[in-house]
C-alpha cells in the first residue's frame, strides 16, 4: 500500500508530503485547489507519460517520491528480485524530470529505466480517471477488457494462435518467394550465375588492401628503386665518402691510441658493430632494389584484380564477410529451388493445414471468450445491483464466426439499465452517472484478479447524487476493507465514510500561489463535510447536519 507521497516543484506545489493510511483515504477541496495535481504527481512517479509542463514555473526540475509497504504483494517482490534490487523495510520509488526533458528513475536508491519502473508499479497501484472512461467508450477496447479479466484462460490460447499465425505468414512468404514455375527457373539461373561469379572471384581477406599497396609501389617504382639505390650508395657505395668507408677510416684513426687510453678498445668494438650492421642494411637495400622487377602487364593484372574485387563487393556486400554471407544464403536458396515444384506443393499443403489449425484454435479462443464474457457479465451485473442499478443487464456481443479461414474476434459490450429496455451498445446509451458506477464495478471486478493493494479513484462521483451517492460510498468502503483506496471526491457521503480525510487548499504565500494538504479530524472534518453539503455554518442547521452525517457513516461502517 502507498504510505507516503512527497512532491517537489509540480505545478503549484512547491513542496508537499502526504502520509496515507490503510482503508479509505478521501481527498477533497474546492475546484482548482490542486486535486488533479496530486493525481498527476502520483501518475508521474508510477512511470506514466509526462512532459516538462508539469515542472513549476521558475524551477529547473520536478521530483516525486513514493513509499510503499509491499509485505502482501508477492508480485512486486518477485519483480524486485528479478531486477536484483534488495528488498528493504519499505519500497521507495523516485522519479525526477528536468526542463530539458530528461527523466531519472530510482527504486530503493538504485537507478532503473522508466520501463522497469512501470513494470513494478503496475503491480502496486491501479488508477481510475477520465482516461479509463474514454477507453471504455471506445468499442475497440472492449475485447482487451475481456481478455484482461479472463487472462488465466485466454492468454495461453492467444499465444498458441499467434504462433500458428506466425507460421502461416512465414509459409505465405516462402510461397511468394517461389513465385510461378517460370519464376523458379529464372531464380535458379540467377543463383547459379551469382554463385559461380563469387566463387570464381575467390576474394581473400585483406586482398584488396594488399593489392592497392602493391599498385602504389608499382606506380612509384622509379622513385622507389632510386630511393633504395641512393640509400645503398650513401651507406656502401663506390665513393670514399660512404658511411662504411668513413667508419673504417675512423677505426684506423683511433686504433694507434689504444695503448694510451683503455676506453679506445670499447669504442673500436662499437664502431665495428655499427659497420657490420650498416653493411647488412646496405646489402638488404641493394637486394630490394635489384629484386623489384615488374612489367606493365603485371600492373594491368593488379588493376584488373582490384576492379573485380570492387565489382563483387558492390554487387554482393561491401566487405568480404558480407559477400561470403550472401554466397551462403543464395546457395541455400539454390539448393531449395532445385526441388522447386515439389517443395512449392508441400508449402501449399502446409499453408492449407495451418489455415485449418488457425481456424480451429481461433474458434476455441472465441468459445473461451464467450464463456469468460458470460462470467464477467454476471459479476458486473451483481456489482451494479449493489451500486443501485438493480435491473442492469450487461452482455458481450460477438460478431458471427466465419465458416473457415483466418479471422479475428470482434466484440462489443451491450448494456441496459432498466427492465423492458433492450440491450444496446454501451457506448451509445449509458448515462454519466451509470458510467461512473459501471467503471467502479468493472475496476473492482478486474482489479480483484490482479492482487493490487492500492486503488485510486479520481472523481468517481461524476453524475452521482442522492441515495446513489450513499451506495457508492458504501461500496468504496467495502473495497477498502481488503485494499487501500484513495478517492478524490465532491460527495459528502463519501467523505464521511473515510478512514482518513485530507483537505486540498490553494493559498497565497509571499505572493506565490501554492497547494497545501491538511489531514482533517474533529471539528475541521465537520467543517469540510459542511462545505461539501453546501449548508450554512450555523449551530441550528448546518453543523448538526454534518455531524449527523458523520455519525451515521460510522454506524454504517460498523455494520459493513
Segment 287-315, tens digit of pLDDT:
887 777 666 677 788 889 999 999 999 99
Residue at 50 is within a domain: no
pLDDT-based confidence at 170, cuts 50/70/90?
very high
Residue 104 has pLDDT above 90, yes or no: yes
Average pLDDT value for residue range 69-84: 91
Structural domain contains residue 489: no
Q: What is the reported pLDDT for 412?
A: 96
Segment 27-52 mean pLDDT: 90
Helix (H) or strand (E) holding 470: helix 466-480
Domain assignment present for 138: no
Helices (H), 256-401: 263-291, 296-316, 320-338, 340-386
State what percent of residues in the chain have pLDDT above 90.
Answer: 52
The Cα 404–Cα 392 span in angstroms is 36
Identify the pLDDT of residue 131. Answer: 67
- The mean pLDDT of 270-277, rounded to a whole number, is 90
The predicted pLDDT at position 380 comes to 95
Report helix, strand or coil for 39: helix
Q: Which helix (H) or strand (E) holds 106?
A: strand 103-107
Mean pLDDT of 461-483: 84
Whether residue 325 has pLDDT greater than 90: yes
Compute the average pLDDT of residues 85-103: 91
pLDDT of res. 377:
96
Owning domain of residue 314: 201-333
User: Strand 2-10 vs strand 13-19: parallel, antiparallel, or unpaired?
Assistant: antiparallel
Take residue 282 and report the three cell numbers written for it: 646496405
**pLDDT at position 50, please?**
86
| pLDDT per position as a tens digit, 202-221 | 999 999 999 998 888 777 76
Question: Does residue 297 lie within any of the structural domains?
Answer: yes
pLDDT of 238 above 80:
no
Residue bearing the bigger pLDDT, 268 or 307: 307
105 pLDDT above the threshold of 80: yes
Contacts of 434 by beta carbon, 8 Å cutoff, 6+ apart? 389, 415, 417, 463
* Span 165-189, average pLDDT: 85
pLDDT at 222: 65
- Give the total residue count for the chain: 560
Q: Could you tell me which of 228, 202, 224 has the C-alpha nearest to residue 213?
A: 224
Torsional sign, CA 481, 483, 488, 489: negative
In a domain, 299, yes or no: yes
Q: What is the pLDDT of residues 37-48, one digit of tens each?
A: 999 999 999 999
What is the per-residue pLDDT for 538? 61
In a domain, 313, yes or no: yes
Give bridge partners of residue 414 from the DSSP assignment: 395, 425
> Is 35 a residue whose pLDDT tops 90?
no
Highest mean pLDDT among 209-218, 225-234, 368-377: 368-377
Residue 251 placed within a domain:
yes
Asked if 517 and 16 touch (Cβ cutoff 8 Å), the reply is yes
Position 316 in a domain: yes
- Report residue 535's pLDDT band, with 50, 70 and 90 as the boundaries: low
pLDDT for position 395: 96
Q: Which of 143, 98, 102 is nearest to 8 (CA)?
A: 98
Where does the pLDDT of residue 537 fall: very low under 50, low under 70, confident under 90, or very high at 90 and above? low
The per-residue pLDDT for 282 is 87
Q: Span 87-115, mean pLDDT?
A: 92
Quote the number of domains for the chain: 1
pLDDT of residue 160: 97
CA 503 from chain centre, in angstroms, equals 37
pLDDT of the residue at 468: 83
Residues with Cβ within 8 Å of 352's Cβ and at least 6 positions away in sequence, in order, are none
Q: How far apart are the first and last CA of the chain?
A: 22
Q: What is the pLDDT of residue 379?
A: 94
Judge residue 49's burial from the number of C-beta atoms within 10 Å of its C-beta, 0-12 exposed, 13-18 middle, 19 or more buried: exposed
Side-chain half-sphere CA neighbours of 50 within 13 A: 33
Grid cell in block for residue 548 = 449527523
What is the predicted pLDDT for the residue at 307? 94
- The answer to whether the CB of 92 falls within 8 A of the CB of 67 is yes
Amino acid at each position: 500500500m502507498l504510505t507516503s507521497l512527497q512532491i517537489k516543484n509540480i505545478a503549484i506545489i512547491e513542496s508537499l508530503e502526504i502520509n496515507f493510511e490503510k482503508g479509505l483515504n478521501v481527498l477533497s477541496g474546492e475546484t482548482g485547489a490542486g486535486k488533479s495535481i496530486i493525481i498527476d504527481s502520483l501518475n508521474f512517479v508510477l512511470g506514466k507519460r509526462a512532459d516538462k509542463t508539469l515542472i513549476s514555473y521558475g524551477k529547473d526540475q520536478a521530483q516525486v517520491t513514493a513509499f510503499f509497504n509491499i509485505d502482501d504483494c508477492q508480485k512486486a517482490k518477485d519483480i524486485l528480485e528479478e531486477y536484483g534490487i534488495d528488498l528493504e523495510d519499505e519500497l521507495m520509488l523516485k522519479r525526477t524530470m528536468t526542463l530539458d526533458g530528461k527523466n531519472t528513475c530510482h527504486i530503493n536508491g538504485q537507478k532503473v529505466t522508466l520501463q522497469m519502473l512501470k513494470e513494478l508499479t503496475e503491480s502496486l497501484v491501479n488508477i481510475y480517471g477520465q482516461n479509463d472512461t474514454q477507453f471504455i467508450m471506445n468499442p475497440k477496447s472492449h475485447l482487451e477488457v475481456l481478455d484482461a479479466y479472463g487472462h488465466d484462460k485466454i492468454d495461453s490460447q492467444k499465444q498458441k494462435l499467434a504462433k500458428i499465425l506466425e507460421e502461416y505468414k512465414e509459409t505465405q512468404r516462402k510461397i511468394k518467394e517461389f513465385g510461378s514455375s517460370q519464376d523458379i527457373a529464372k531464380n535458379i539461373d540467377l543463383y547459379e550465375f551469382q554463385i559461380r561469379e563469387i566463387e570464381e572471384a575467390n576474394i581473400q581477406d585483406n586482398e584488396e588492401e594488399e593489392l592497392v599497396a602493391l599498385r602504389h609501389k608499382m606506380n612509384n617504382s622509379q622513385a622507389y628503386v632510386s630511393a633504395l639505390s641512393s640509400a645503398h650508395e650513401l651507406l656502401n657505395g663506390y665513393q670514399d665518402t660512404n658511411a662504411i668507408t668513413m667508419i673504417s677510416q675512423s677505426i684506423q684513426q683511433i686504433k694507434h691510441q689504444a695503448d694510451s687510453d683503455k676506453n679506445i678498445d670499447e669504442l673500436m668494438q662499437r664502431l665495428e658493430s655499427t659497420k657490420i650492421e650498416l653493411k647488412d642494411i646496405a646489402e638488404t637495400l641493394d637486394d630490394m632494389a635489384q629484386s623489384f622487377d615488374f612489367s606493365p602487364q603485371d600492373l594491368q593484372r593488379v588493376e584488373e584484380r582490384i576492379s573485380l574485387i570492387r565489382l563483387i563487393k558492390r554487387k554482393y556486400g561491401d566487405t568480404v564477410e558480407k559477400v561470403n554471407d550472401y554466397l551462403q544464403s543464395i546457395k541455400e536458396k539454390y539448393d531449395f529451388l532445385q526441388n522447386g515444384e515439389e517443395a512449392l506443393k508441400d508449402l501449399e499443403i502446409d499453408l492449407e493445414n495451418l489455415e485449418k489449425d488457425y481456424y480451429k484454435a481461433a474458434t476455441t479462443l472465441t468459445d473461451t471468450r464467450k464463456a469468460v464474457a458470460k462470467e464477467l457479465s454476471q459479476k458486473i451485473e451483481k456489482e451494479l445491483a449493489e451500486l443501485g442499478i438493480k435491473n442492469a443487464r450487461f452482455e458481450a456481443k460477438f460478431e458471427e464466426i466465419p465458416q473457415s479461414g483466418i479471422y479475428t474476434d470482434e466484440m462489443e459490450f451491450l448494456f441496459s439499465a432498466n427492465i423492458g429496455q433492450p440491450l444496446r451498445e454501451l457506448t451509445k446509451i449509458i448515462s454519466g452517472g451509470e458510467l461512473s458506477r459501471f467503471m467502479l464495478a468493472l475496476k473492482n471486478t478486474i482489479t480483484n484478479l490482479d492482487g493490487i493493494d492500492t486503488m485510486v479513484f479520481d472523481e468517481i462521483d461524476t453524475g452521482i447524487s442522492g441515495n446513489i451517492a450513499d451506495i457508492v460510498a458504501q461500496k468504496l468502503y467495502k473495497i477498502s476493507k481488503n485494499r487501500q483506496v484513495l478517492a478524490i471526491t465532491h460527495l459528502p457521503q463519501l467523505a464521511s465514510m473515510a478512514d482518513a480525510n485530507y483537505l486540498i487548499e490553494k493559498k497565497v504565500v509571499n505572493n506565490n500561489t501554492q497547494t497545501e494538504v491538511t489531514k482533517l479530524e474533529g471539528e475541521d472534518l465537520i467543517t469540510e463535510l459542511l462545505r461539501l453539503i453546501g449548508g450554512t455554518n450555523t449551530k441550528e442547521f448546518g453543523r448538526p447536519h454534518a455531524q449527523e452525517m458523520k455519525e451515521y457513516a460510522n454506524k454504517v461502517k460498523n455494520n459493513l
